[in-house]
Amino acid sequence: MGLVSSAIRFMLLIFLFIIGANSFAMQPHFLNGTDHRMMSGRKLRTIPLSPPPGPVGAHPIHHNPPP
Question: Is residue 65 classed as helix, strand or coil in its secondary structure?
Answer: coil
Q: What is the pLDDT of residue 14?
A: 84
Does 64 map to a domain?
A: no
As for how many domains the chain has, the answer is 1
Answer for the pair 64, 58: CB distance below 8 angstroms, yes or no.
yes
- Residue 20 resides in a domain: yes
Amino acid identity of 45? Answer: R
Q: Which domain holds residue 5?
A: 1-25
What is the residue-level pLDDT of the chain in tens, covering all 67 positions? 577 788 888 888 888 777 766 665 565 555 555 555 555 555 556 666 666 666 666 556 656 666 7
Quick check: is 48 in a domain? no
CB 30 within 8 A of CB 36: yes
